[in-house]
Homo-oligomer: A and B are copies of this chain.
Amino acid sequence: MENTLTTKPHVVIVGAGFGGLEAAKKLACEDVRVTVIDRTNYYLFQPLLYQVATAALSPADIAAPIRAVLSKCRNVEVILAEVQSVDVEAKKVKTVDLEIDYDYLILATGARHSYFEHNEWEKLAPGLKSLEDAIELRRRILMAFEYAEKITDEAARKAAMNFVIIGGGPTGVEMAGAIAEISRYTLAKDFRHIDPSQARVILIEGEPRLLAAYPQDLSESARKQLMDLGVEVRTSTRATNLTEAGVQVGDEFIPCRVKIWAAGNNASFVGKTLGAPVDRVGRIIVNDDLTTPGHLEIQVIGDLANFSHQTGEPLPGISPVAMQQGRHAARNVLAMVEGRKPQRFRYWDKGTMATIGRNKAVADLKFVHLRGRLAWLAWLFVHIIFLVGFRNRLLVLFQWAWAYFTFDKGARLITRNFQSETRPPA
């Protein structure tokens, strides 16, 4: 069977996120050979990462092994590797230990955080793009309370219970709401020397309103709902410096141990190696049909792409965009294999939503704007539907139901990096 396969056109998909996975699923069992390359072995449902970071869900609840998702059709294989560059002339992708030829290439490596030229801030204020990010944030958030409980120095205790989130987009809003919730509800009875509900949660956003990409009324509603939870919202505000001790905001210094970065995206590095035109944050400016200038065999999708042909502005880096582009790129490949031309892409905007806490959310469904409980239920529904795998849906549904009725968040583990145990504690 391998011999027959090697004569078919070879499609290489780099990145098994929302975009890459949809492309792979659409090419599965078709008359092509597909190789999916990802640097992790799982597909991550990023919209729920903030729930891992705030101890509501476990990592495995929001991730599925890529191989399991793609095991059915023999024409699809998966390689765990990190692509470092693309050789456009030779039509190869290069990883540390392998070079892989392609006939068609779909690049879907996504985005990572931008620290606005302050890369040294990254260790101080982790972002929320990967499971490792989420686990590290969870550790820092829970450790802050553990530390505050132990010490007696009033100033240090206050600083430990200040949480600063930088960036008022959906991620920042969701993190702020979730931290406010665990400190006011979940952890309320757990401590004896501190009152977790006295924790300050401060959300900083450079634009004049939160959720700047959303309709005005929903921005306002999100702000109000956050303030109901006790979150301090500061718009038109930028962090000018970050140190171990806290965050400098204009003239004010906010002492805090835990700083969370939810601002600014840069496209992944791989894009630059294509030699195609890129925008200010590194996204590749694609053609109307997702192909790259001069190379119809290369398509770029998801957060790595700058697609401005529809509205004049680049489409936002959200999962529905990536998924629709992934399916479209796959259709283009099948067309080109049969000698037809790739079609132009149009995004069908069904709306966006962001959640703040129990019964608190905003949802822009185009024909209607929802707030509060209704938006929250819509948010739950959509996220469960798109969560990959029936098993994961049941697990998540159960844990959400449990948390809703008991306020208990069950995934409150602080796990450290693996370290040697044979030596006595220093």
Using a CB–CB cutoff of 8 Å, the interface residues on chain A facing chain B are: 40-42, 58-61, 63-65, 67-68, 71-72, 74, 77-82, 84, 96-98, 112-113, 115, 119, 122-123, 126-127, 129-133, 135-136, 142-143, 146, 149-151, 187, 189-193, 269, 389, 391-392, 394-395, 398-399, 402, 406, 408, 410-425
Contact A150 B415 (CB under 8 A): no
Contact B420 A123 (CB under 8 A): yes
A415 to B413, alpha carbons, bound, how many Å?
A: 15
A413: chain B residues within 8 A (beta carbon): 41-42, 59-60, 63, 65, 131
Nearest residue, chain B, Cβ from A75 = B192
Please indicate which of the listed interface residues A60, A84, A395 has the most CB atoms of chain B within 10 Å of its own CB: A60
Q: How far is the CB of A40 from chain B (nearest CB, A)?
A: 7
Nearest residue, chain B, Cβ from A421 = B112
- Beyond A65-B190, A80-B143, A84-B424, 20 additional contacts (C-beta under 8 Å) are A58-B60, A60-B410, A60-B411, A63-B413, A67-B187, A68-B408, A80-B149, A80-B414, A81-B150, A84-B425, A113-B421, A122-B422, A129-B421, A131-B413, A132-B415, A132-B418, A389-B410, A391-B408, A395-B410, A398-B398
Please indicate which of the listed interface residues A79, A132, A143, A421 has the most CB atoms of chain B within 10 Å of its own CB: A421
Grouping DSSP codes into helix (H, G, I), strand (E, B) and loop, the A interface class, with mixed when no group exceeds half, is loop
Contact A192 B74 (CB under 8 A): yes
Q: How far is the CB of A110 from chain B (nearest CB, A)?
A: 11
A113 to B402, alpha carbons, bound, how many Å?
A: 37
Nearest residue, chain B, Cβ from A119 = B422
Contact B61 A421 (CB under 8 A): no
A417: chain B residues within 8 A (beta carbon): 132, 417-418
A61 to B150, alpha carbons, bound, how many Å?
A: 27
A150 is contacted by which of B42, B79, B389, B398 (Cβ under 8 Å)?
Answer: B79
A399: chain B residues within 8 A (beta carbon): 391, 395
> How many subunits of this chain does the assembly comprise?
2
Closest 10 CB pairs of A and B: A67-B190, A80-B146, A77-B192, A58-B58, A60-B411, A136-B418, A119-B422, A65-B412, A71-B189, A58-B60
Contact B68 A190 (CB under 8 A): yes
A82 to B414, alpha carbons, bound, how many Å?
A: 14
A183 to B210, alpha carbons, bound, how many Å?
A: 49
A59-B58, A150-B97, A192-B77 known; A414 vs B41 contact (CB < 8 Å): yes
A394 to B397, alpha carbons, bound, how many Å?
A: 13
A135 is contacted by which of B41, B126, B418 (Cβ under 8 Å)?
Answer: B418
A134 to B187, alpha carbons, bound, how many Å?
A: 27
Please indicate which of the listed interface residues A64, A113, A136, A146 has the most CB atoms of chain B within 10 Å of its own CB: A146
A420: chain B residues within 8 A (beta carbon): 119, 122-123
A415: chain B residues within 8 A (beta carbon): 59, 131-132, 135
Nearest residue, chain B, Cβ from A269 = B424
A190 to B424, alpha carbons, bound, how many Å?
A: 42
Nearest residue, chain B, Cβ from A2 = B192
A80 to B412, alpha carbons, bound, how many Å?
A: 14
